[in-house]
Amino acid sequence: GAVVSQHPSRVICKSGTSVKIECRSLDFQATTMFWYRQFPKKSLMLMATSNEGSKATYEQGVEKDKFLINHASLTLSTLTVTSAHPEDSSFYICSARRGGSYNEQFFGPGTRLTVL
Amino acid sequence: DAKTTQPPSMDCAEGRAANLPCNHSTISGNEYVYWYRQIHSQGPQYIIHGLKNNETNEMASLIITEDRKSSTLILPHATLRDTAVYYCIVRATTSGTYKYIFGTGTRLKVLA
């Protein structure tokens, strides 16, 4: 149990386009989902926290108009990178928390975004 | 938020126990210690977590010192597939969001 999927696993896009990444909890309801980005050989950096049905909370320095997060249901959160530029190229990872007495986060496999 | 300190890298011989230390000297009373690992280009995988008692599951054991200022993750019989970056995380509970703050982790290399 506790499987989290991401789609797509890899995406290449042109500069100036927008890219949407989906994060789904497959066998549990996620009260909270998190989005991270990771640069090569670096640690994960938390971008934002999203709770179902409410606005996401962004970490300091993360542009909310650049990285749009929607958490429309208890099993789906989406991250849209708007007007992507080469510096947005990164590995984006989501995680989901079951809530209740289960507080560990379960991570998706990640999405590698390359902006040309 | 409590921060963690881990050695940047460690080597371990295949079949031997791998002991990965973590310091979290500013941990507060209700914060848990979580361990995850990340194999190259994959999402982190949950290993184990604990509050103050030692914990064991099918993957590993977690030893937490009595003062809770440090912990050790033990992989009892390391295999080549255990080569990964291991992250020790103290779960922050700012505004009840339970967010994780990742440190730099320990890059464990299991040697044949």
Whole-angstrom Cα distance, residue A23 to residue B43?
12
- Which residues in chain A have Cβ-Cβ distances shorter than 8 Å to B46? 2, 104-107
Instruction: List the single residue in A46, A104, A112 with the smallest CB-CB distance to B49.
Output: A104
Q: Residues of A at the B interface (Cβ-Cβ below 8 Å)?
A: 2, 4, 6, 32, 34, 36, 43-46, 49, 51, 57, 91, 93, 95, 97, 103-110, 112
Whole-angstrom Cα distance, residue A45 to residue B43?
13
A73 membership: H or E segment, kind and range? strand A67-73
Q: In what order do the strands lie in the sheet with A19-25?
A: A4-7, A19-25, A76-81, A67-73
Contact A104 B46 (CB under 8 A): yes
Whole-angstrom Cα distance, residue B80 to residue B87?
18
Q: What is the pLDDT of residues B13-55, one digit of tens each?
A: 999 999 999 999 988 888 889 999 999 889 999 999 999 889 9
Helix (H, G, I), strand (E, B) or coil at A21: strand
Is residue A53 packed enough to be buried (19+ CB in 10 Å), middle (13-18) or exposed (0-12)? exposed
| Residue B3: pLDDT over 60 | yes
Contact A95 B43 (CB under 8 A): yes
Q: What is the pLDDT of residues A30-81, one digit of tens each?
A: 888 999 999 998 999 999 999 888 889 999 999 999 999 998 888 999 999 9
- What is the per-residue pLDDT for A51? 85
- What is the per-residue pLDDT for B103? 86
- Which residues in chain B have Cβ-Cβ distances shorter than 8 Å to A105? 46, 98, 100
How many pairs of residues across A and B have Cβ atoms under 8 Å apart?
56
Q: Give B65→chain A minimum CA distance, Å.
A: 21
Contact B97 A106 (CB under 8 A): no
Contact A108 B43 (CB under 8 A): yes
Nearest residue of A to residue B50 by CA position?
A104
Q: What is the pLDDT of residues B79-96, one digit of tens each?
A: 999 999 999 998 866 556
Nearest residue of B to residue A31 by CA position?
B97
Q: What is the pLDDT of residues A16-26, one digit of tens each?
A: 999 999 999 99
Give me the mean pLDDT over the A95-111 stretch.
84
A10 membership: H or E segment, kind and range? strand A10-13
- Which residues in chain B have Cβ-Cβ distances shorter than 8 Å to A45? 102
Contact A34 B100 (CB under 8 A): yes
Question: pLDDT confidence of A1, banded at 50, 70, 90?
Answer: low
